[in-house]
Structure 1
């Protein structure tokens, strides 16, 4: 029987690999939307081969409607470029854009990317579903901190560009004092420090996860904080913020 709260946590200095924070980094846990990064990485590699693919128009009615996170479901525009769909996934974890992109490229190639990049077993299991039946994968994605820190030590630059405007700063990043709607460039924290973060979060019932890269005055840390829990979410968010505060303090030389 599992405990009520399980954590997989790791933060390392990106350049040196020095471990800054660590707790059960190889534990695989549900990560909700975090696994969408594998889709973004696959798209980035396709664009490396043919950048014109980014201008391809994809229609929102090519898949069934899906609710929850995202903006496209609320917009009139019937089609967006592949690049803009990826931007929506990076910025607001857009579920409809995710499914449109998966419908276009296929789930299997994305899972092949995950198998190549994540030896610890992190995986995008499925497209986004409003309702999961017993025949469906039980969770959108699985992940462990070790896999995600390894990825964000050397992330694809195009993926970082899509993640830069990510608006969900409710977890680890809540400690960084950033404007959720305007933080795509370095933000002065004082005369000596400039701060920038690229992150992807995942939210589901009993799941909170954030993975990413934090830069403070040129010193970078790849980090991942993943939690599966029972009960109230507020204490979990408070602990995630505490890990963010600790990470920021370490990078600032504390």
Structure 2
């Protein structure tokens, strides 16, 4: 399934991150129902996920994972989280941050109308290519990029804010090993970047933690990006274990708060997000790079994401 990395074992990290404050949104939705912390002690185990990810790595996949407790900042599951790996559409998240910041600062008119780039249309994914409307306001393009991973909307937003500005923003967010390298394309030529985006799970999990704690640039930008990401309809990987409705999971009757973004490419599966329940909240990110030789290779990777999702649910619920 690919060349195995020189990896560290998966498990709990010995050194905690700096503590983070609890987000106001999580307080409002979880506070009244939260169980005593000791009530969840017996459920705070990621042994199944650790074993599954180790088996995947031993089979030749490159696996990187980072899971952190939102309340304490304690890293509860890490493995090769410093590796900069291809993350496909997950790289849209820093782009959404820059777009929201530009709108908030008045540098980008959120209702400005822009034409679909039909001359360079990416045909392999997304919704906009199938819509009859030839133009959209920037804010609706951001919704398409977040909710459906639309590559044409993402390309348009990248052109609007500029690659240099996005790179500077990504570094300022504390993500020097992550980058949206190029436009989304149907095919990558010799002159194109080999991957649309790369990143580390440590940096992406930290970014999602900061988003729900209103610490990405300012509360308004954090809230806008979180709102866009709450519309994401791809709940087929880690999120498949949550039981949430992929088309309507912003307000869940069972006390779950969830936002996420996935990335999919040839031999690449990546996901980062935040899951919070009555007992706890976590930020997580996982990337698996593998040889996509058969549907069975692919399904084994997808199963690993689902196993992680089960352990995440037991942790927060």
**TM-score, normalised on structure 2?**
0.74
In 2 relative to 1, CA 125–16 (structure 1 residues): closer, same or farther, beyond 3 Å?
same
1:206 matches 2:271:
no
The alignment covers a number of residue pairs equal to: 247
Bigger shift: residues 128-137 or 114-123: 114-123
Show structure 1 runs of 5+ residues with no match.
189-193
The SS at the match of 1:54 is coil
Q: Which residue of 2 aligns with 1:251?
A: 316
| Counterpart pick for 1:226 among 266, 279, 287 | 287
| Counterpart pick for 1:179 among 235, 245, 263 | 245
More strand as a share of residues? 1
How far the C-alpha of 1:48 sits from its partner, in A, is 1.8
**TM-score, normalised on structure 1?**
0.92
In 2 relative to 1, CA 26–182 (structure 1 residues): closer, same or farther, beyond 3 Å?
same
Q: Which residue of 2 aligns with 1:89?
A: 145
What CA distance in whole angstroms lies between the structure 2 residues aligned with 1:23 and 1:61? 40
What CA distance in whole angstroms lies between the structure 1 residues aligned with 2:308 and 2:66? 10
Q: Which residue of 1 aligns with 2:223?
A: 157
The SS at the match of 1:112 is helix
Q: Which residue of 1 aligns with 2:74?
A: 18
What CA distance in whole angstroms lies between the structure 2 residues aligned with 1:210 and 1:118? 19
What are the equivalent positions in structure 2 for 1:94-105 lying under 5 Å apart? 94-105=150-161
CA RMSD of aligned residues (A): 1.7
How far the C-alpha of 1:196 sits from its partner, in A, is 2.4
Query: Which entry has the higher C-alpha Rg, 1 or 2?
Result: 2
What CA distance in whole angstroms lies between the structure 2 residues aligned with 1:52 and 1:147? 26
* Partners of 2:271 and 2:287 within 8 A in 1: yes
* Partners of 1:120 and 1:144 within 8 A in 2: no
In 2 relative to 1, CA 94–81 (structure 1 residues): closer, same or farther, beyond 3 Å?
same
* Partners of 1:8 and 1:28 within 8 A in 2: no
| Counterpart pick for 2:95 among 32, 36, 39 | 39
**Dislocated runs of 4+, deviation >4 Å:** none
The SS at the match of 1:55 is coil
* Partners of 2:67 and 2:78 within 8 A in 1: yes
Bigger shift: residues 160-169 or 107-116: 107-116
| Counterpart pick for 1:80 among 116, 136, 139 | 136
What are the equivalent positions in structure 2 for 1:136-155 lying under 5 Å apart? 136-155=192-211
What CA distance in whole angstroms lies between the structure 2 residues aligned with 1:118 and 1:206? 27
Q: Which residue of 1 aligns with 2:86?
A: 30
